[in-house]
Structure 1
Amino acid sequence: MVVSCGLLTANKERVPLKGIEVEVEVKDHVAVVVYTQHYENKEDKAIEAVFVFPLPGDAAVCHFSAKIGQTEIVAEVKEKQEAREEYDDALSSGQQAFLLEESDQSPDIFSLNVGSLPPGESASIRLEYVTELAVEADSGLRFCLPVVLNPRYQPQGSEGHGVKVTAVPASLVPYSLSFSARVSSPREVLKVDSKCSLEPLQYLNKEKTQAVVKLAAGHKFDRDIELFIYYKNAHQPAAVVEAGKAFATPGTIIGDPVMMLSVYPEFSQEVMSSITTSGEFVFLLDRSGSMDGARISSARDTLLLLLKSLPVGCYFNIYSFGSSFEPIFQNSIEYNETTLEKAQKKVEEMRADMGGTEILKPLNHIYSQPCIPGQPRQSAEGTDGHVTVTYTLAGHSFHDKLSFPLQPTEDTGLTVHRLGARTLIRCLETEKGEEVKKKVVEVSVQSGVSSSFTSFIAVNKTSREAIHGPLLQRRIPGVWSRSCYSLSQQAVVPMMLSHSMAKASRMQSHGMARACSMQSHAMAPAAMLQGNTLGVKAKPESLSVMDKVKHLFRPESKCSDDPVPTPAILKHPDSLLQLVSLQKASGCWELNPALAAALNKTSKELEQPKPPKVNGNVWATVLALVWLHAFKLDAQIEWKLLAQKAVSWLTAQNAPSMTECIMAGNTLLGSNVQKDALGL
């Protein structure tokens, strides 16, 4: 009888991955991550280890190497099929080989093949990537290291290849994880927070501009590792100038110097509260074929949130573009209940049916239109560079001026170049055709940054030990969330684009890849709803893919006791969007069965606790605000503007018994939201 010892996979196979080490260097708004995996073959035959693991979707993987004993092999970037053939040829000839590539279906999933690991031999695999840090609503910067492979939702009848990963409970993962981060900035590092257990923050200098933080021992692999980094004077602009790669071809993305400018303006509450009726808002929606499926659905959801956030009395328009372009109104039109309903109906009908992705013509047309009076729209040699950012809000002018040397320092590296290359690659990958693919491969190989058409391949040409019989394949167990619905990579559940708004205000400019100027009311065309133009990117920051899956599969809300037709927009499974869709242009909600259904109550349950002297719409608006603050605080950046509009409406009503209303709302909804938290 054969007895298996130790923690094995579901197929009683030993696990060759022994540990993962992650070292992060955060430089202001950018992180460089070194990710090392240690393998050891304790079996009596040569094996091939296969490990599928997540990385941030916007990461630029720029280095991959393997170390066997004292021998280090640095990988090259090659066209994907060519790399796969070289890998197979190396294994068949008795050589050790290592192959790293991103999934054809999802850029945040990578697979690693460790080929021909002889009995008793160890190998260390090192990969390096760079990524931008997302800006949170509280001015902190968010770094995320994904360690959990979340399930992918696949609609019934769609095609796709499943992720072939052995899954084990998080508590039984057979490999260890160590994590440390070094944070440095020209500004003081105030603190580093995390939902994971961390060791105390250690400062490395008296100015507190450099610090180290480590993950506490015993991470259970039950969640991704997130760091929230807070700098002093976080809203000051910052610039990085980086020299090109030595001996690279001039005129290429990797050969020329580049500059990255980070702008994250801050507006006082006094100025923000004074915004009432002015501004022209133009939204640009990508309806090309590449937006089909989840992308166009996510774009429509985001556009709904933006439309509900506009102030009454402003002017707005929505442009759709693909091979051609078309606005929903001939000219920007005043925002009121009638025009909002008309726009909302048009948005609901929008599909990804306009062909290619030609954005220049609609942008030229938008900027050629005359401005509406009283409705603002946004719109030398030397050794030093100067950037002046001027923005106007509600008649108040703000200026930030930044001076910086144009001569790059010697130790700048190629971080910004690689981020720029990654941005260019992602933009090109949305197009189709052999010429586009050829260009992606060219940029990927030139910059050493991964793409969907290339792979990293490393071959140990000194190892030529004959292999007797076929290699045994060992799949490293991955960690899945507990509830797994459909484990397909193809259709990633859509995520909200609202974080792009924060991105747009910060406007990180990657040299040639991104450049734009900002004035106060330019929410759009910068808010291109595909999320990869003019510095706006869609990223899963407040709602994870798993959260979205839960929204899609959660039970229906309790039925109202009133037979009322449900508008198409209310059929959306996301309860936040369901509530938002009911807000009126003025900022209020109406007390009706649709609101009761959105709050998972009957009409009787909703109306009974209303204080006697309180108007029905006032009561409904208070309930909506209490619900948002109680149950959707993690998505506050998405509904903050429309909530401010609701508060302004309530203030204008001069309604009595507001404290009593809030207390009654808390009792009804089972919450504990304080009056000052609502801004009343």
Structure 2
Amino acid sequence: MPGLINRHTRAPLTLQAARVSACVNGLSVGIAASLTYYNQEDHVVEGVFCFKMNENTTVAAFEARMLQGRTITVHLKDRTQVEHFNEILTGRITMTANQPNVLPPGKFALSEFHNARVFCSNLGTIRPHGTVTILLSISSLMNTGTLGEAKLHIPSVFTPRYKKAQVKENEPQPQQPQSQPQASQTTSSSSNNTTTEHLHRSLLDIADEVGENPQEYEFEFQLEIRAPSLLSGVSSSSHAVRVDAEPFAANASNVFVTLAEPHQMDRDLAITIHYPKPHVPVVILEHGDISPTAYEQFVKTENEYKNPGEVGEDEDKTRAFLQKRLLKDVMHNPVLMLNYCPDFEKLTQQMLTYRFDVPGEYVLLIDRSGSMSGEYTANARETLMMVLKSLPMNCRFNIIGFGSAYKPLFESSRPYTQDNVSEASAYLRCMRADLGAMANLLVPLQWVYRHPVVRGCPRQIFILTDGGANNTAEILDMVRSNVPHTR
């Protein structure tokens, strides 16, 4: 479950207080939280904090304050510089004759694909009956509804569940038989198997669970909404909320949202923000933390700026140097953010009316042989995601991976619907170079050509590979023979 857990037993530590402060600006939200945990054990435990993230969420800051003045801070670095992460916290399950599933003690199973979906920090030892205060700051992009409303969902790591124990009075306790060696042995074996499965669960599965807390905890919540225009309303499907504006505010575009009733600790917190014109593009400007003049003086003090090999009197070199600095100094510079939530139903009607879409069948052949492992597969995945999202609305498509063998996504090309696109996106996210050592392009092409062309949908084939084919002559002959109906 998400939050602070015991590294060896996977049991959650007790949450005493959660204070969450969020700020919404357009369709983006920043959340800063303070979480205080307590170690109820009479011995030292080793704590690990885990938190599941989606593709629209990133951790901006993390700090753990422990007793005796010890503080742990997380610094964001390039992935190539933190390969020791796998050595410290994660490991692979190995198969042995006596123990089929063996995972090193204190480590978590985590695949390379799921590595970027979990934020995890090792806090080290926590003294008996000691407290830990975690300061977590995240940035995220909110989801939108069918009518353009923005939906804010507070992660469950901030709102774990608490269930009160229900004990019935004067209820006789069932007596256990004194001697049942066979049943006891079976129960013990089942318990050991359950414990083994519990300890060998993936770190992603642990972070994806609904958090539970053994006792009640304090919860405070405040949300500031900075809207580009007047709001149509703020509501919540989970809690009773109170919306206030500043006493001397000129309008209600900036409001504060708090809970009108105590948090019941049995559900997640969800807020819905209604904008008057949700489908109109909005540009939001966020100023840097220093003025342009101060930033210019700051850059001139840098050693790279003084280096004549980097920057000289040439304006082009100066401009190139500043462009390289933009990402590094992003907090010092103003940033523009475009928020656009299109009305897809209206756009679809317009496209059908004016016939902007050209129907067709698009078949994407992707090389998944051994030579495509690593960076090549990542680049191919990114390219195919872009192609998939750029296809016409009323087309048909299919994705086929090939190597020594081939594996189509669909048995035949399917219409471009939301369900089919979601299934294709999930397929691409899990794509690996696992179809053999050699790239045999002839067989998948034969499979494609065996399927008849749908009338009114000309077929086009796109091939993505990192090398040539051994049977080039046969492939070219087959392509030439199918030119009349397939490009």
TM normalised by structure 2 equals: 0.47
Larger radius of gyration: 2
